Amino acid sequence: SWESGAGTIFSAETKDFKNYLPAKNIPAHSYANSRAQAVILGQKQTGTLHKVPYTVVDRLINAQQKAHYQHLRNSETTAGDELRFAGLKPVEVTLTTRPAASKKISELLVGAFFEDINYAADGGLYAELVQNRDFEYHPSDKKYRDESWNSTKAWRAGLGNLYIDTAAPIHKNNPHYAVLSYDTGNPALINKGFGGIAVTAGERYDCSAFIRIPSGKAGTVTWKLADKNGKIVGTAAMKVPAWKTWKKLSAVLTAAATVADAELILTAGQPGTIHLDMVSLFPQKTFKNRKNGLRADLAQALADMKPKFLRFPGGCVAHGDGIANIYRWKNTIGPLEARKPMRNLWNYHQTMGLGYYEYFQYCEDMGAEPLPVLAAGVPCQNSSTGGAGQQCGIPMEEMDEYVQDILDLVEWANGDAKTSKWAKMRAGAGHPEPFNLKYIGIGNEDLITDIFEERFTMIFNAIKKKYPEIQVVGTSGPFYEGTDYVEGWDIARKLGVDLIDEHYYVPPGWFIHNQDYYDKYDRNGSKVYLGEYASHLPGRPNNLETALSEALHLNNMERNGDIVAMTSYAPLFAKEGNTQWNPDMIYFTNTAVTLTPGYHVQRLYGNNAGDTYIPFEMTYSNNADGVIKRISASIVKNTKTNELFIRIVNMLPAAVTITLNSDMIPPGASVQKTVLTGAPDDRKIKPAESTVRAESNKQETLPPYSFTMWKVKLL
């Protein structure tokens, strides 16, 4: 029995903990709170007592023993290698290719996952330098736990008084603005950026703001950048016309020095009151020089990985913290001042400056397929707004409108700008040609309930009816097994969903001991999109050990590239000092980008993608299961560039000497070799490249804890 939030008590009976009789309302006095404590495997546990047949107990014991055994295997880390592999001699391996059994594999295997977590968007990839430019930060962004988090966050008055008003705003979606007043002098307003404003000597920055002088008199506003000693390193001036309504004004500022942590000072040229909103300082030098674009170094780091697709906007951000927080794409397009900012579920603020248009543009600029993921009409299963849990779904009477929103996205992305209302908007934003959207994700690792299934089915059927050519990606919960995984896959089979988004963050030991995970998958069912994965060690580092285990998994996924269609490591970006989640693939500050071992692995696979898998056989001088499982190989061919990629992971603490028997490799061919190696806990490794000559039966030595890739140009 259980107690509902309202205090009403229900009881449901079961004999096997699988099948339950319908719940019955029971009187409070008959409710037995049978909680008890027991020590199980040395751990104190609290639970409820039930009388069940012994067969149930037996099954529970078996399940527990299996889980314990798996836990021990999954806990294998290199920390125990000295003992585990004591006395291990270098292992000799021969690898013989069997090209006759080649098979086609996905050309989109390695992509990327973008979520606004860890300040990945505002203060990160989105190049805006002013924090809280719209004065829309709200205490609710941080669940009212930070008093300083409000419309004045990152702002202060330099001279005069600053307060926030909402009367006659620029747009209803952007209700707050700054009122600055000083009757006896010229008022000034200061913004400190996202932990300082970084500018580079000689570079140009677009200054813009909506400004109104309520007296109706003309005036001026001077923009200045000051370093931390107060030295001015850039200025620009704006004339404010004599009218009382909002007007967007612009100027260009050139930085006279390189400064990591400047402040922006806006000073009115006259005493009195002035209203300001959407105050922006934007580098002209963005990725591909796009207006309202992306921070060039960060965007380039991802582009260098050559992801074949880019997922957006998450992760949990996509389905939100409660129904009201579901990410709605329509709120993120159009003029910046009319976009609807929102609380970010990771407890900060989303301006939506990096919205759907900027996202699609970025995909196009990188040559990646867009993969937008939209909520399946249900919010995150960990929602906490108003109580924990999935909290039902969008009410059925609102579902038609929600489904239409999703159909409108396809129209916006792919429609004909001459005839379609949504496509006209895309064209108006600067992209008359369709974006050629092919994939849409519905749901993000949701709790697979009836509420989910009902809404997912509605959305899936509507998309397939109107746009049968769109590939829909369903979801199977946050783990590689369990109820959501089973139920999510069942729905996929029932409806014939094109791809299923799997998520799992697991220790290196899981990757080592589950190399056949996809070998067992049905070749005729839905394809797999491993949308979120990463190797997690205690302390959550991104180091050589985690990267090698991810490479090992990528090898296994290449072998299964006929059914594993897409993969993306998660999360992607993290700002130092603003990180909610570790490990991430790329860390950054306002001025630097740090590439992790995991990034190097993703980049090596992304840049050297194949479309055909070449099977092979391996023999070992040491056949111990624990040894063999630490050596993993994959060979793929790119038939368009006629290149062969041979990748070998050696996760052993000993060297591996490999003899490659393959008549695919022309003797004498120039081979590009890349090696990643070091100590397992090394976080700073970099790939070492060299050129070698192919020789038949040549032996190569793979260092302990290493990833080696040979790239061969075939004749």
- Comparing C-alpha atoms, which of 541, 505, 552 is closest to residue 681? 541
Provide the 3-class DSSP secondary structure of residue 333: coil
Whose Cβ is closer to ligand AHR: residue 314's or residue 680's? 314
Whose Cβ is closer to ligand AHR: residue 315's or residue 334's? 315
Distances (CA, A) of 316 to 20, 117, 150, 293: 31, 9, 24, 24
For 693-699, the CB contacts below 8 A with 24+ separation are 693/668, 693/669, 694/665, 694/666, 694/667, 694/668, 694/669, 694/670, 695/667, 695/668, 696/667, 697/659, 697/660, 697/661, 698/659, 698/660, 699/657, 699/658, 699/659
Whose Cβ is closer to ligand AHR: residue 213's or residue 376's? 376
Whose Cβ is closer to ligand AHR: residue 375's or residue 451's? 375
Shortest gap between Cβ of 346 and ligand AHR (angstroms)? 8
Residue 270 CB: number of other CB atoms within 10 A? 17
Torsion angle defined by CA atoms of residues 644, 615, 532 and 288, in that order, rounded to the nearest 10 degrees: 10
Q: State the Cα–Cα distance between residues 432 and 451, nearest whole angstrom.
A: 38
Position 315 contacts ligand AHR (CB under 6 A): yes
* Cβ–Cβ under 8 Å, residues 265 and 250: no
Which ranges in 305-449 belong to alpha helices (H)? 316-319, 356-366, 396-414, 421-428
DSSP assignment of 128-177: --STTTTS---GGGGTT--TT-STTTTEEEEESEEEEE-SS-SBTTB--E
Among 313, 322, 478, 561, binds ligand AHR (CB under 6 A): 478
Stretch that binds ligand AHR, among 172-180, 311-319, 330-338, 418-426 (CB under 6 A): 311-319
- Comparing C-alpha atoms, which of 260, 31, 232 is closest to residue 129? 260
Stretch that binds ligand AHR, among 101-109, 256-264, 308-316, 450-458 (CB under 6 A): 308-316
Cα 174 to its chain centre, rounded Å, is: 27
Site string (105-124) toward ligand AHR, x via CB under 6 A: ----------x-x-------
Residue type, 59: R
Shortest gap between Cβ of 655 and ligand AHR (angstroms)? 36
Whose Cβ is closer to ligand AHR: residue 154's or residue 373's? 373
Assigned token pair, 144: 């009212």
Shortest gap between Cβ of 192 and ligand AHR (angstroms)? 28
Q: State the Cα–Cα distance between residues 419 and 539, nearest whole angstrom.
A: 54
Whose Cβ is closer to ligand AHR: residue 411's or residue 502's? 502
Q: State the Cα–Cα distance between residues 618 and 633, nearest whole angstrom.
A: 9
Whose Cβ is closer to ligand AHR: residue 481's or residue 519's? 481
Among 571, 597, 598, 680, binds ligand AHR (CB under 6 A): 571
Position 322 contacts ligand AHR (CB under 6 A): no
Position 409 contacts ligand AHR (CB under 6 A): no
Stretch that binds ligand AHR, among 75-83, 241-249, 312-320, 446-454 (CB under 6 A): 312-320
Whose Cβ is closer to ligand AHR: residue 117's or residue 354's? 117
Please, how many CA atoms are within 13 Å of residue 269, restricted to the half-sphere of its CB?
A: 13
What residues from 430 to 469 belong to the interface with ligand AHR (CB under 6 A)?
A: 444-445
DSSP assignment of 501-567: EEEEEE-HHHHHH-TTTTTTS-TTSPEEEEEEEEE--TT----HHHHHHHHHHHHHHHHTTTTEEEE
Q: State the Cα–Cα distance between residues 635 and 626, nearest whole angstrom.
A: 22
Whose Cβ is closer to ligand AHR: residue 311's or residue 559's? 311
Stretch that binds ligand AHR, among 130-138, 190-198, 310-318, 371-379 (CB under 6 A): 310-318
Q: Is 445 a catalytic residue?
A: yes
Whose Cβ is closer to ligand AHR: residue 141's or residue 532's? 532
The sign of the dihedral angle between the CA atoms of 346, 352, 354, 359 is: positive
Assigned token pair, 439: 């994939």
What residues from 573 to 632 belong to the interface with ligand AHR (CB under 6 A)?
A: 581
Angle at 423 between CA 421 and CA 424, to 5 degrees: 65
Q: State the Cα–Cα distance between residues 50 and 60, nearest whole angstrom.
A: 13
Adjacent-strand bridge partners of 226: 232, 263
Cis peptide before 571 (omega within 30 of 0): yes
Q: State the Cα–Cα distance between residues 655 and 423, nearest whole angstrom.
A: 58
Shortest gap between Cβ of 165 and ligand AHR (angstroms)? 36
Residue 214 CB: number of other CB atoms within 10 A? 14
Q: State the Cα–Cα distance between residues 225 and 261, nearest whole angstrom.
A: 10
Shortest gap between Cβ of 313 and ligand AHR (angstroms)? 10
Query: What spatial distance separates the first Cα and last Cα of the chain, rounded to whole Å?
Result: 71
What residues from 518 to 547 belong to the interface with ligand AHR (CB under 6 A)?
A: 532
Among 219, 234, 283, 314, binds ligand AHR (CB under 6 A): 314
Shortest gap between Cβ of 262 and ligand AHR (angstroms)? 32
Q: State the Cα–Cα distance between residues 21 and 29, nearest whole angstrom.
A: 21
What residues from 22 to 51 belong to the interface with ligand AHR (CB under 6 A)?
A: none
Q: State the Cα–Cα distance between residues 184 and 181, nearest whole angstrom.
A: 9
Position 375 contacts ligand AHR (CB under 6 A): no
Shortest gap between Cβ of 484 and ligand AHR (angstroms)? 12
Residue type, 257: A
Shortest gap between Cβ of 534 and ligand AHR (angstroms)? 8
Total number of residues that touch ligand AHR (CB under 6 A): 12
Shortest gap between Cβ of 381 and ligand AHR (angstroms)? 9
Position 227 contacts ligand AHR (CB under 6 A): no
Whose Cβ is closer to ligand AHR: residue 478's or residue 680's? 478
Q: Report which residue's Cβ sits closest to ligand AHR.
A: 315
Assigned token pair, 485: 């995984």
Shortest gap between Cβ of 303 and ligand AHR (angstroms)? 21
Whose Cβ is closer to ligand AHR: residue 70's or residue 580's? 580
Stretch that binds ligand AHR, among 25-33, 235-243, 314-322, 594-602 (CB under 6 A): 314-322
Shortest gap between Cβ of 478 and ligand AHR (angstroms)? 5
Shortest gap between Cβ of 332 and ligand AHR (angstroms)? 18
Among the listed residues 128, 445, 487, 550, the single catalytic one is 445
Where in the sequence numbering do the catalytic residues fall?
445
> What are the residues binding ligand AHR (CB under 6 A)?
115, 117, 314-316, 444-445, 478, 532, 570-571, 581
